[in-house]
Amino acid sequence: MSKYKVTKAVIPVAGLGTRFLPATKAMPKEMLPLIDKPVIQYVVEEAVEAGLQDILMITGRNKNALENHFDRVAELEMNLELKGDKDRLAKVMASSELANIHYVRQGDPRGLGHAVLRGKAHIADHSFALLLGDDVMDSRDVLLSKMLAVHEATGENVVALMEVSPDQIHLYGCAVTEGEVEDGVVRITGLVEKPKNDEAPSNLAVVGRYVLRPKIFEILEETAPGRGGEIQLTDALMTAAQHPERAGGVLGVVFKGRRYDTGDKLDFIKATLRLGVDREDIGQELRTWLHEFNNEI
């Protein structure tokens, strides 16, 4: 087995989700449903699809709803079984049989870097995938398996990049790149967290998928709180990019598929519609209605 073979995924879900208040007052934003599945289930399914069965969730307050979703609900299962409702029973069982899910609390939400650090004991000295719990990549487009293959072949840290319009780059970590190392893979030499639009070094934004070497924990431990008083993963990745001898360099896989930032209200609505129009059960009716609605507005 390659030294850089990945079997574990970390999914942080401990953010406060302030952009979605008051919906997220008593429930993590990752439990909001896209049609009929909570956002987090799409993310776990993506990890499993890429071969990662061992999942560690970094949870915050209101973690119960998350844990319950991936657990058995005997009463509900029995009720559906008695009714002979096999389809719904299968859907209810699917999430509890999906993966081996472990949980650790973040305590205070002191930033993504701090959340990732909470995974140190579980991950130990293996490379791991990091999937942000509110970022959904359309399952019809390939990303994570390509990132894992690049990591396995090179041993370098890998982040997902997407081209965004120049007026959006201030919302993201922005990559300084140095040309393609292979088709769709670039070397990252620097990163800037949420730059001003007119100061951004590129239009390549870091989006919520990473494959990281365990050395990143050591770097995170040394990383002082940055922007907003939070420990920023971007700052640690910047150190890795500038000191490849310490933690391996950083490569970017440029993703051209469909991504939904479900922590953002508008993107959440777009995701619901994009996924909805292709659904077998509701797609046709939704398309017809959208055409009618379009004439109304």
Name the residues that contact ligand UTP, by CB under 6 A: 12-19, 58, 106, 109-112, 114-115, 132-134, 263
Q: Please report how close the Cβ of residue 110 comes to ligand UTP at its closest, in angstroms.
A: 6
Closer Cβ to ligand UTP, 174 or 286, answer by number? 174
Q: Per-residue DSSP letters for 20-77?
A: GTTTTSSS-GGGSEETTEEHHHHHHHHHHHTT--EEEEEE-TT-HHHHHHTS--HHHH
CA gap 297, 295 in Å, rounded: 6
With CB atoms as reference, the residue minimizing the distance to ligand UTP is: 15
Q: Please report how close the Cβ of residue 33 comes to ligand UTP at its closest, in angstroms.
A: 16
Report CA-CA distances (Å) from 246 to 5, 54, 70: 19, 27, 37
Closer Cβ to ligand UTP, 110 or 287, answer by number? 110
Strands, E assignment, 98-228: 100-105, 128-131, 135-137, 157-163, 173-182, 185-193, 204-212
Q: Please report how close the Cβ of residue 220 comes to ligand UTP at its closest, in angstroms.
A: 13
Q: Please report how close the Cβ of residue 29 comes to ligand UTP at its closest, in angstroms.
A: 6
DSSP letter at 257 equals S
Closer Cβ to ligand UTP, 4 or 210, answer by number? 210
Q: Please report how close the Cβ of residue 113 comes to ligand UTP at its closest, in angstroms.
A: 8
Give SS3 for 269.
Answer: helix
Q: Please report how close the Cβ of residue 141 comes to ligand UTP at its closest, in angstroms.
A: 20
Closer Cβ to ligand UTP, 115 or 144, answer by number? 115
User: 161 pairs with which residues across the strands?
Assistant: 206, 254
Closer Cβ to ligand UTP, 4 or 268, answer by number? 268
Q: Please report how close the Cβ of residue 292 comes to ligand UTP at its closest, in angstroms.
A: 33
Q: Please report how close the Cβ of residue 45 comes to ligand UTP at its closest, in angstroms.
A: 16
Closer Cβ to ligand UTP, 106 or 127, answer by number? 106
Closer Cβ to ligand UTP, 24 or 286, answer by number? 24
Task: Give which of 35, 60, 31 is closest to 44, Cα–Cα.
Answer: 31
User: 157 pairs with which residues across the strands?
Assistant: 250
Element (H, E) at 287: helix 283-296
| Orientation of helix 144-154 relative to helix 39-49, angle to 10° | 40
Task: Give which of 60, 74, 52 is closest to 5, Cα–Cα.
Answer: 52
* Distance from the Cα of residue 90 to its chain's centroid: 25
